[in-house]
Amino acid sequence: MRKPLQGVTNIVRFNWPFYALAVTALAGAGLVSIFSEGSLRSWASILTICVAVPVVVSLLISAYVYDLSGLYDLHWLDDIPLKTDGSFANINAGFDETTSLLRLRYPSAQVAAYDFYDPTRHTEPSIRRARLAYPAAPDVVTITTAHIPAQDDSLDAIFLVFAAHEIRDAGERERFFGECLRVLRPGGYVIVLEHLRDTANFAAYNIGFFHFLPLRSWLSAFQVTGFTLTRQQRINPFVTVFKLMKNGNTL
């Protein structure tokens, strides 16, 4: 069971230097506005607004996305005809919030947990903090983006929940999706859940949206590796799910 506001709490926890800097800036601007007059006070007030508004907006939207929207109820899987007793892989990048949820949703399936996090290649500081806060479970298999330890045509589904964007290099990303294609059975699905580098996420996260990939990067990776994109939909204004099929038909 997820705790109340666990998502937004983790965001602050994993990105605490940014929020500490924001609080310091707000405290400084507040002191200047209290003890100064004239134009200096006006500029301090403007700085306070410029810092406070984006931070508050991003936290409110994060609370909606991760805690209030039902994202972790996995409702966005309802229309995917997965085999309830299939063989699945849930692949993460240093932080896994979904393997246990998938195992509850598909109790008759075999859900393997893989983790491709490599601190020498995937250098986002927030991932390092997440790994320290939530060590990998004993049954998680450490892999690389170049090799998924499964036989050809052996998996019915692969889940990539807020993970694949950590592969920043386009070539590495294409090779990884090529591996996903190799191990997937014909008619199997890869389900990719991601934020996009788009207007909605810029409004939500300001310059933080640069950490997300643009739509064209995803579509290029899917096309180059031979997947059929059967569905692309927003499950809320800020998160998109891609449903890819091996040897599928475009809808």
Per-residue pLDDT tens digits for 22-53: 999 999 988 888 888 888 888 888 888 988 99
pLDDT computed for residue 250 by the predictor: 45
Instruction: Please give the biggest Cα pair distance in the chain.
Output: 71
Q: Would the pLDDT of 199 be above 70?
A: yes
Average pLDDT in the 79-94 region? 93
pLDDT at 92: 96
Q: How far apart are CA 38 and CA 30, in angstroms?
A: 14
Judged against a pLDDT cut of 90, whether residue 159 lies above it is answered with yes
Q: How confident is the model at residue 124 (pLDDT cuts 50, 70, 90)?
A: confident
> How far is Cα 98 from Cα 160, in angstroms, rounded to an integer?
10
Q: Chain-wide mean pLDDT for the chain?
A: 92
What pLDDT score does 121 carry?
80
Average pLDDT over residues 128-144: 91
pLDDT (mean) for 182-205: 96
pTM of the model: 0.91
User: In this prediction, what percent of the chain has a pLDDT beyond 70?
Assistant: 98
What the block records as the tokens of 124 is 């986002």
**pLDDT at site 187:** 93
Query: What are the chain's domains?
Result: 6-68 (no CATH), 76-245 (3.40.50.150)
Cβ atoms of 230 and 244 within 8 Å: the answer is yes
* Amino acid in position 205: Y
H-helix segments, 64-207? 99-105, 125-133, 170-183, 199-205
Q: Give CA–CA dist 229/244, Å, rounded.
A: 5
